[in-house]
Amino acid sequence: MPTAPASFLDPALLAKISDLTLLARTVVDGFMHGQHRSMRKGSSMDFAQHRSYQPGDDLRRIDWRVFGRTDRFYIKEYEADTNASVVFALDSSASMDFGSGALTKYDYGRFLIACLAWLSQHQGDRVGLATFTGDLVDVVPASTRHLQLLLHTLGRSKAAGTGHLTNAIEKLTHLTSRAGIVALVSDCYEQPAALGKAADSLRMRGHDVIVFHLVDAAERDFPFTDATTFEDLESGVRLPIRPNDLRAKYKTLTQAHYAAVAARLVASGADYVRVDTDKPLDAALHAYLDRRLARSRVR
């Protein structure tokens, strides 16, 4: 499959672009250049069905005749409505504010979501956003008109506080009554069982789930050499450590955690994508595109 030039996707370059709209457009246009497959299924405008009105829907598509008979709001859907509701859930806990390279995990996550939202919007999907720590922080309902609001919300969001995924995702499930795609972006510093429970909750409501697990190069390689004190960004706990004595054990434990997270999420029916934040965005974009295409084929 053709890919965009690395310059469009390299974290070091992206770190120099402060405007998320410009960044998303540049990355997606570069990425999609040379792609031969379309995510649209057709262009028929034949009427297909009614569905209940959801916040964020275009009011011009309300069927007022049905409202007159039922006193309820219904939206007219057409065969061209092969789009989906896509909600991006971004972990905003303090651990995401770590970065040993050009970008913190949080910045990488924001850039990734901006690009995926831009891609989704321009394929006709409804896009929404939820940022969370131990609770939901910002929520942008999924809509075909909310891309700029989503990008603005991402642009001003910060990583702070203690994360608790299960509670936040449980609340998110009650805000996404329409089955669609939930793309979770997190460093997955949770027990695998908690991550699996969150995915189970979303899957039980009919959502396709894709989890982007962000890993910083220093977390992956543990390149530190000098004895120093490490501080947990969320709890504030400080530990004096001699890295050379612990590197092998650290790598064994982290790899075991990554494997357990992946296995538990896959067991829930979710797609799991490991994303190293020192690598270009293309692998994550391809994974999302493949998920979107797979969903289109079964609709």
29 lies in the same domain as 64: no
101 lies in the same domain as 206: yes
181 lies in the same domain as 65: no
Residue range 232-279, pLDDT digits in tens: 888 889 999 999 999 999 999 999 999 999 999 999 999 999 999 999
How many residues are there in the chain?
299
Residue range 30-77, pLDDT digits in tens: 777 645 444 443 334 444 456 677 776 667 778 888 778 788 887 765
**Burial degree of 60 (CB within 10 A; 0-12, 13-18, 19+):** exposed
Whichever domain contains 262, its CATH number is 3.40.50.410
**Threshold 0.85, pTM exceeds:** no
Helices (H), 33-164: 64-70, 105-121, 147-156
- Which residues lie across from 108 on neighbouring strands? none
Token pair belonging to 9: 């996707």
90 lies in the same domain as 74: no
Q: Which domain holds residue 278?
A: 6-39+83-298
139 lies in the same domain as 256: yes
188 lies in the same domain as 222: yes
96 lies in the same domain as 161: yes
Q: Tokens 């590197």 correspond to what residue?
A: 247
51 lies in the same domain as 134: no
> For residue 135, is it within any domain?
yes
